[in-house]
Amino acid sequence: MPERTPDVAAIITAHAEGVMAGLSFRSLLDAVGVARAEGIGVEVLVVLDNPTAATREVFAEADEHGARVAEVSYADQGKVRNHAVGLTTAGHVAFLDGDDLWSENWLADAHRMCAGAPQVIGHPELNWFFENQQNLYFLPDQTDPDFDPALLRIANPWDALCLAPRSAYVDHPFSARAVADGYAYEDWHWMLETYRGGYVHRVVPETIHFKRRREGSQYVQARARKVLTRPSELLDYAWWQERDRSV
Protein backbone atom coordinates (compact mmCIF):
# COMPACT_ATOMS: atom_id res chain seq x y z
CA MET A 1 0.00 0.00 0.00
CA PRO A 2 1.24 3.55 -0.72
CA GLU A 3 2.32 5.56 2.31
CA ARG A 4 -0.28 7.88 3.73
CA THR A 5 0.38 11.57 3.10
CA PRO A 6 1.00 13.18 6.50
CA ASP A 7 -1.71 15.40 7.87
CA VAL A 8 0.83 17.73 9.46
CA ALA A 9 4.53 18.44 9.10
CA ALA A 10 5.93 19.59 12.45
CA ILE A 11 9.07 21.52 11.51
CA ILE A 12 11.67 22.89 13.89
CA THR A 13 14.30 25.27 12.50
CA ALA A 14 17.52 25.96 14.38
CA HIS A 15 20.80 27.80 14.02
CA ALA A 16 22.70 28.78 17.18
CA GLU A 17 20.31 27.89 20.00
CA GLY A 18 22.53 25.16 21.47
CA VAL A 19 21.02 23.23 24.39
CA MET A 20 17.87 25.37 24.26
CA ALA A 21 17.06 23.64 20.97
CA GLY A 22 16.91 20.34 22.82
CA LEU A 23 14.14 21.68 25.05
CA SER A 24 12.30 23.00 22.01
CA PHE A 25 12.62 19.65 20.24
CA ARG A 26 11.30 17.88 23.33
CA SER A 27 8.33 20.25 23.34
CA LEU A 28 7.67 19.48 19.67
CA LEU A 29 7.83 15.73 20.26
CA ASP A 30 5.38 16.00 23.16
CA ALA A 31 2.89 17.85 20.95
CA VAL A 32 3.44 15.31 18.17
CA GLY A 33 2.67 12.50 20.61
CA VAL A 34 -0.64 14.07 21.62
CA ALA A 35 -1.61 14.61 17.98
CA ARG A 36 -0.72 11.07 16.95
CA ALA A 37 -2.73 9.69 19.87
CA GLU A 38 -5.75 11.38 18.25
CA GLY A 39 -5.06 9.68 14.93
CA ILE A 40 -3.40 12.66 13.21
CA GLY A 41 -0.55 11.69 10.90
CA VAL A 42 2.47 13.83 11.77
CA GLU A 43 5.93 13.86 10.25
CA VAL A 44 8.80 15.57 12.05
CA LEU A 45 11.40 17.64 10.22
CA VAL A 46 14.49 19.34 11.62
CA VAL A 47 16.06 22.00 9.39
CA LEU A 48 19.41 23.39 10.53
CA ASP A 49 20.64 26.63 8.98
CA ASN A 50 24.41 27.13 9.37
CA PRO A 51 24.19 25.42 12.77
CA THR A 52 26.76 25.86 15.49
CA ALA A 53 28.50 22.70 16.65
CA ALA A 54 26.46 22.71 19.85
CA THR A 55 23.18 23.00 17.95
CA ARG A 56 24.13 20.23 15.52
CA GLU A 57 25.03 18.00 18.47
CA VAL A 58 21.60 18.52 20.02
CA PHE A 59 20.01 16.93 16.96
CA ALA A 60 22.61 14.20 16.46
CA GLU A 61 20.07 11.53 17.47
CA ALA A 62 16.93 13.22 16.12
CA ASP A 63 16.42 10.37 13.66
CA GLU A 64 15.95 8.00 16.60
CA HIS A 65 12.83 10.02 17.40
CA GLY A 66 11.53 9.59 13.87
CA ALA A 67 12.70 12.96 12.59
CA ARG A 68 14.25 13.76 9.23
CA VAL A 69 17.16 16.19 9.46
CA ALA A 70 18.23 18.59 6.71
CA GLU A 71 21.03 21.13 6.82
CA VAL A 72 21.14 24.31 4.72
CA SER A 73 23.26 27.45 4.48
CA TYR A 74 20.87 30.34 3.93
CA ALA A 75 21.38 32.47 7.05
CA ASP A 76 17.82 33.61 6.35
CA GLN A 77 14.79 32.38 8.27
CA GLY A 78 12.37 32.99 5.42
CA LYS A 79 14.44 31.00 2.94
CA VAL A 80 14.84 28.21 5.48
CA ARG A 81 11.08 27.94 5.92
CA ASN A 82 10.49 27.96 2.17
CA HIS A 83 13.05 25.16 1.80
CA ALA A 84 11.40 23.19 4.60
CA VAL A 85 7.99 23.39 2.92
CA GLY A 86 9.57 21.86 -0.18
CA LEU A 87 10.65 18.83 1.85
CA THR A 88 7.12 17.78 2.76
CA THR A 89 3.83 16.91 1.09
CA ALA A 90 1.83 17.17 4.31
CA GLY A 91 -1.54 18.89 4.13
CA HIS A 92 -0.62 21.35 6.89
CA VAL A 93 2.66 22.75 8.17
CA ALA A 94 3.51 23.98 11.67
CA PHE A 95 6.79 25.77 12.37
CA LEU A 96 8.65 25.99 15.66
CA ASP A 97 11.78 28.08 16.20
CA GLY A 98 14.69 26.34 17.87
CA ASP A 99 14.35 28.28 21.12
CA ASP A 100 10.56 28.36 21.51
CA LEU A 101 8.05 25.89 22.97
CA TRP A 102 4.54 24.62 22.20
CA SER A 103 1.82 23.67 24.63
CA GLU A 104 1.23 19.92 24.30
CA ASN A 105 -2.23 20.38 22.79
CA TRP A 106 -1.08 22.77 20.05
CA LEU A 107 -0.83 20.45 17.04
CA ALA A 108 -3.91 18.40 17.86
CA ASP A 109 -6.19 21.36 18.58
CA ALA A 110 -4.87 23.49 15.72
CA HIS A 111 -5.31 20.66 13.23
CA ARG A 112 -8.82 20.01 14.49
CA MET A 113 -9.73 23.62 13.76
CA CYS A 114 -8.01 23.86 10.38
CA ALA A 115 -8.46 20.41 8.84
CA GLY A 116 -11.96 20.97 7.49
CA ALA A 117 -11.37 24.57 6.41
CA PRO A 118 -8.76 24.82 3.65
CA GLN A 119 -8.35 28.59 3.95
CA VAL A 120 -7.89 28.75 7.73
CA ILE A 121 -4.56 29.46 9.44
CA GLY A 122 -4.44 28.63 13.14
CA HIS A 123 -2.61 30.70 15.75
CA PRO A 124 -2.15 30.10 19.48
CA GLU A 125 -4.43 31.94 21.83
CA LEU A 126 -1.48 33.19 23.86
CA ASN A 127 2.18 34.05 23.25
CA TRP A 128 4.14 33.86 26.50
CA PHE A 129 7.45 35.71 26.13
CA PHE A 130 10.36 34.79 28.36
CA GLU A 131 14.03 35.52 29.04
CA ASN A 132 14.92 39.03 27.82
CA GLN A 133 11.26 40.06 27.66
CA GLN A 134 8.56 38.80 29.99
CA ASN A 135 4.98 39.46 29.04
CA LEU A 136 1.82 37.88 27.68
CA TYR A 137 0.19 38.61 24.34
CA PHE A 138 -3.30 37.37 23.48
CA LEU A 139 -3.61 37.05 19.71
CA PRO A 140 -6.72 38.36 17.93
CA ASP A 141 -9.05 36.23 15.85
CA GLN A 142 -9.81 37.62 12.41
CA THR A 143 -13.45 36.51 12.70
CA ASP A 144 -13.99 38.44 15.94
CA PRO A 145 -16.44 41.29 15.19
CA ASP A 146 -14.18 43.63 17.14
CA PHE A 147 -11.14 42.85 14.98
CA ASP A 148 -10.25 45.71 12.63
CA PRO A 149 -8.17 44.38 9.72
CA ALA A 150 -6.79 47.87 9.15
CA LEU A 151 -4.53 47.02 12.09
CA LEU A 152 -2.43 45.12 9.56
CA ARG A 153 -1.25 48.44 8.13
CA ILE A 154 0.60 49.41 11.31
CA ALA A 155 1.37 46.14 13.12
CA ASN A 156 1.50 42.39 12.75
CA PRO A 157 -0.97 40.78 15.16
CA TRP A 158 0.27 37.25 14.35
CA ASP A 159 3.54 35.49 13.50
CA ALA A 160 4.79 32.56 11.45
CA LEU A 161 4.69 30.02 14.29
CA CYS A 162 1.24 28.93 13.21
CA LEU A 163 -0.40 25.90 11.63
CA ALA A 164 -1.34 26.60 8.03
CA PRO A 165 -2.28 24.70 4.89
CA ARG A 166 0.84 23.87 2.92
CA SER A 167 -0.76 25.76 0.03
CA ALA A 168 -0.46 29.00 2.01
CA TYR A 169 3.33 28.65 1.99
CA VAL A 170 3.47 27.53 -1.63
CA ASP A 171 1.23 30.34 -2.87
CA HIS A 172 2.87 32.93 -0.62
CA PRO A 173 6.51 32.03 0.07
CA PHE A 174 8.38 34.08 2.65
CA SER A 175 10.33 37.00 1.25
CA ALA A 176 14.10 37.15 1.66
CA ARG A 177 15.52 39.07 4.58
CA ALA A 178 17.27 42.27 3.48
CA VAL A 179 18.03 44.38 6.55
CA ALA A 180 20.87 46.18 4.75
CA ASP A 181 18.33 47.33 2.14
CA GLY A 182 15.86 48.41 4.80
CA TYR A 183 13.53 45.37 4.78
CA ALA A 184 12.72 42.74 7.39
CA TYR A 185 9.61 41.51 9.24
CA GLU A 186 9.07 38.57 6.87
CA ASP A 187 6.29 37.25 9.12
CA TRP A 188 4.35 40.50 8.83
CA HIS A 189 4.63 40.55 5.04
CA TRP A 190 3.48 36.91 4.94
CA MET A 191 0.43 37.80 7.03
CA LEU A 192 -0.43 40.64 4.67
CA GLU A 193 -0.16 38.45 1.61
CA THR A 194 -2.12 35.53 3.05
CA TYR A 195 -4.85 37.86 4.27
CA ARG A 196 -5.03 39.45 0.82
CA GLY A 197 -5.07 35.94 -0.69
CA GLY A 198 -8.22 34.97 1.22
CA TYR A 199 -6.76 33.02 4.11
CA VAL A 200 -8.45 33.51 7.47
CA HIS A 201 -6.36 33.82 10.64
CA ARG A 202 -8.06 32.09 13.57
CA VAL A 203 -7.13 31.63 17.22
CA VAL A 204 -7.01 28.08 18.58
CA PRO A 205 -8.52 28.25 22.09
CA GLU A 206 -6.44 27.21 25.10
CA THR A 207 -3.15 26.89 23.22
CA ILE A 208 0.13 28.61 24.10
CA HIS A 209 3.43 29.32 22.40
CA PHE A 210 6.32 30.12 24.73
CA LYS A 211 8.58 32.49 22.82
CA ARG A 212 12.13 33.31 23.82
CA ARG A 213 13.08 36.94 23.32
CA ARG A 214 16.88 37.16 23.49
CA GLU A 215 19.44 39.91 23.03
CA GLY A 216 20.58 40.13 19.43
CA SER A 217 17.61 38.27 17.95
CA GLN A 218 16.64 39.07 14.37
CA TYR A 219 13.53 40.87 15.61
CA VAL A 220 15.56 43.03 18.01
CA GLN A 221 18.10 43.81 15.28
CA ALA A 222 15.35 44.77 12.85
CA ARG A 223 13.75 47.16 15.33
CA ALA A 224 17.11 48.73 16.10
CA ARG A 225 17.72 49.35 12.38
CA LYS A 226 14.20 50.79 11.99
CA VAL A 227 13.61 48.74 8.87
CA LEU A 228 10.29 48.26 7.11
CA THR A 229 8.25 45.34 5.88
CA ARG A 230 8.30 44.84 2.13
CA PRO A 231 5.72 46.71 0.02
CA SER A 232 2.21 45.28 -0.11
CA GLU A 233 -1.09 46.57 -1.42
CA LEU A 234 -2.47 46.28 2.11
CA LEU A 235 -0.06 48.96 3.30
CA ASP A 236 -1.64 51.44 0.88
CA TYR A 237 -4.59 53.56 2.02
CA ALA A 238 -6.04 53.27 -1.48
CA TRP A 239 -6.51 49.52 -1.09
CA TRP A 240 -8.56 50.01 2.07
CA GLN A 241 -10.60 52.81 0.54
CA GLU A 242 -11.47 50.56 -2.39
CA ARG A 243 -12.28 47.72 0.00
CA ASP A 244 -14.59 49.94 2.07
CA ARG A 245 -16.40 51.13 -1.05
CA SER A 246 -17.06 47.55 -2.13
CA VAL A 247 -18.42 46.39 1.24
pLDDT in tens, 190-208: 999 999 999 999 999 999 9
> What pLDDT shows up at residue 231?
65
Taking alpha carbons only, the member of 98, 8, 113, 82 closest to residue 48 is 98
Is the Cβ–Cβ distance between 24 and 95 less than 8 Å? no
> What pLDDT shows up at residue 116?
87
Is the Cβ–Cβ distance between 155 and 147 less than 8 Å? no
One of 3.40.630.10, 3.30.2270.10, 3.90.550.10, 2.120.10.30 is the CATH number of 8-246, namely 3.90.550.10
Cα angle 221, 224, 227 (rounded to 5 degrees) comes to 85
pLDDT in tens, 6-19: 999 999 999 999 99
Question: At residue 155, does pLDDT exceed 80?
Answer: yes
For the chain, percent of residues with pLDDT exceeding 70: 82
Window from 1-15, 96-110, 122-136, 220-234 with minimum mean pLDDT: 220-234
Window from 102-106, 218-222, 241-245 with minimum mean pLDDT: 218-222
> What pLDDT shows up at residue 131?
87
Sequence-distant (6+) residues with CB within 8 A of 78 are 173, 174, 175, 176, 177, 186
Window from 28-32, 81-85, 104-108, 145-149 with minimum mean pLDDT: 145-149
Taking alpha carbons only, the member of 151, 127, 228 closest to residue 186 is 228
pLDDT in tens, 134-147: 899 999 999 999 99
Taking alpha carbons only, the member of 35, 37, 23, 140 closest to residue 91 is 35
Question: At residue 93, does pLDDT exceed 90?
Answer: yes
Strand boundaries in the chain, DSSP class E:
8-14, 42-49, 67-72, 92-97, 101-102, 120-131, 135-138, 163-165, 200-213
Is the Cβ–Cβ distance between 96 and 28 less than 8 Å? yes
> What pLDDT shows up at residue 198?
94
- Model-level pTM? 0.88
Average pLDDT over residues 98-112: 97
> What pLDDT shows up at residue 154?
84
Q: What pLDDT band is residue 215 in, cutting at 50, 70 and 90? A: low
> What pLDDT shows up at residue 132?
77
Question: At residue 171, does pLDDT exceed 90?
Answer: yes
Q: What pLDDT band is residue 221 in, cutting at 50, 70 and 90? A: low
Average pLDDT over residues 75-88: 95
Taking alpha carbons only, the member of 64, 110, 90 closest to residue 4 is 90
